[in-house]
């Protein structure tokens, strides 16, 4: 992978520049990028010692260091390049890849997030690598829905990668595992679940239906399979979905993702008291990163029960952890309004509208002007 940055004009003079000059070193380094990356790194170091304010040089050298698996050196070089070009989204994406290889996962997500905000560039191969690594980090943190959000963006771009579908399978089955830690049977389940979910994401209903049927026929007793089939059924028959989530919870009483989906379905079915109990139980079991969903479920349930004062602190906690989620702002605005807190309600309404304008309205779990759905979308 190479950056698309244009070399500075001085490189055009490299062939006629004196040996050992900046122009000569930079030109030779550029020529060696693909043929001899180790030599290119040496030449870039010499050129950058003469002109440390050359951002493209830092980026070129960093990408070669990454390719040589010298991740610590690559990270430092990317940081120096980004100090000079702080709006380079691809540079932050590469920095996140270095963080990932060095095991600095929280920093990797932070750097990848900056890259996404600035733009990861036009290379689908590069974007796939970045989003796949981000998804694997999120899977290990049990942030399965966030992982699927990363991978779903690749589905929209037509990516067909075994590694990506493997990550989808782990997310669908709520397996907080590294791919290289799977047994042969686990890998078979993950591969089939990933392929079924991927076909569903890419709107191939016949293939998805057949693959989910095969998954249930062969592996119904394996952990996470009832949950994965339940999420598939959510768009088809929510009563069947509820039955699958309850089967998963019966087999694994600590399966908090099932608790939360059941909680939102209970709210829809007019049993918010049960939703509160499930949300509070899930809150005690899930990692800190995901607690915003439990707070949202509990807050929504209290709102349905006509108790906005109890709903407000739950929804505030959810918004604090997940400020970009439109549905939580929607419910918090409603809770403030019912509690007579007009200024707070208006602030939440304004934020909801602002966020909605930034997103695809068809992907939102609720409509800007209507009633809420059963809860935040997966």
- Return the pLDDT at 373: 36
Domain ranges of the chain: 1-121, 265-378
CB distance 321 to 295 below 8 Å: yes
Cα dihedral 170, 129, 81, 71 in deg (nearest 10): 70
Sign of torsion over alpha carbons 157, 163, 169, 174? negative
* Mean local confidence (pLDDT), 184-201: 96
CATH of domain 1-121: 1.25.40.10
More confident residue, 361 or 86: 86
As a whole number of angstroms, the distance between CA 100 and CA 284 comes to 29
Confidence of residue 161 (pLDDT cuts 50, 70, 90): confident
pLDDT at 363 over 50: no
Token pair in block for residue 68: 């040589």
CB distance 278 to 266 below 8 Å: yes
- Return the pLDDT at 334: 97
* Mean local confidence (pLDDT), 120-136: 95
Q: Is 264 helix (H, G, I), strand (E, B) or coil?
A: helix
Q: Write the pLDDT tens digit of every residue in 217-231.
A: 999 999 999 999 999
Q: Write the pLDDT tens digit of every residue in 5-60.
A: 333 333 333 344 455 789 999 899 998 888 899 999 999 999 999 999 999 999 99
* Mean local confidence (pLDDT), 137-149: 94
Shared fold status for 1-121 and 265-378: yes
Task: Name the average pLDDT for the chain.
Answer: 89
- Return the pLDDT at 360: 53
Token pair in block for residue 251: 């087999």
As a whole number of angstroms, the distance between CA 68 and CA 34 comes to 12
DSSP one-letter code for 18:
P
- Return the pLDDT at 34: 84
Q: Quick one: which of 251, 191, 247, 255 has its CA closest to 218?
A: 191
* Mean local confidence (pLDDT), 237-243: 95
**Half-sphere CA count of 151, side-chain side, radius 13 A:** 35
Which of 1.10.40.30, 1.25.40.10, 3.40.1260.20, 3.30.360.10 would CATH assign to domain 265-378?
1.25.40.10
- Return the pLDDT at 19: 56
- Return the pLDDT at 3: 38
Percent of the chain with pLDDT strictly greater than 90 = 81
As a whole number of angstroms, the distance between CA 140 and CA 177 comes to 6
């Amino acid at each position: 992978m190479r950056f698309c940055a244009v070399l500075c004009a001085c490189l055009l003079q490299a062939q006629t520049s004196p040996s050992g000059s900046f122009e000569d070193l930079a030109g030779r380094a550029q020529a060696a990028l693909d043929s001899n990356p180790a030599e290119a790194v040496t030449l870039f170091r010499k050129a950058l010692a003469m002109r440390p304010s050359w951002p493209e040089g830092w980026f070129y050298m960093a990408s070669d260091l990454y390719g040589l698996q010298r991740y610590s050196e690559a990270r430092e070089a990317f940081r120096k390049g980004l100090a000079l070009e702080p709006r380079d989204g691809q540079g932050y994406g590469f920095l996140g890849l270095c963080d990932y290889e060095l095991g600095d996962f929280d920093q990797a997500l932070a750097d990848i997030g900056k890259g996404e905000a600035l733009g990861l560039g036009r290379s689908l191969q590069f974007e796939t690598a970045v989003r796949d690594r981000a998804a694997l980090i999120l899977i290990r943190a049990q942030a399965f829905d966030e992982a699927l959000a990363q991978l779903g963006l690749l589905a929209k771009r037509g990516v067909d990668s075994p590694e990506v579908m493997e990550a989808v399978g782990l997310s669908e089955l709520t397996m907080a595992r590294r791919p290289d830690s799977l047994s042969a049977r686990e890998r078979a389940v993950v591969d089939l679940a990933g392929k079924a979910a991927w076909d569903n994401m890419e709107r191939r209903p016949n293939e998805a239906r057949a693959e989910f049927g095969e998954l249930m026929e062969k592996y119904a007793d394996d952990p996470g399979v009832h949950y994965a089939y339940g999420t598939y059924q959510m768009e088809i028959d929510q009563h069947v979905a509820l039955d699958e989530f309850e089967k998963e919870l019966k087999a694994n009483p600590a399966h908090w993702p099932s608790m939360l989906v059941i909680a939102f379905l209970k709210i829809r079915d007019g049993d918010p008291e049960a939703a509160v109990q499930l949300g509070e139980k899930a809150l005690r079991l899930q990692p800190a990163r995901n607690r915003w969903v439990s707070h949202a479920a509990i807050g929504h349930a209290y709102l349905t029960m006509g108790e906005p004062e109890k709903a407000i602190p739950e929804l505030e906690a959810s918004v604090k952890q997940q400020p970009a989620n439109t549905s939580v702002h929607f419910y918090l605005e409603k809770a403030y309004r019912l509690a007579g807190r007009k200024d707070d309600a208006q602030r939440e309404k304004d934020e909801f509208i602002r966020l909605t304008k930034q997103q695809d309205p068809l992907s939102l779990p609720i409509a800007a002007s209507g009633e809420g759905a059963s809860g935040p979308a997966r």
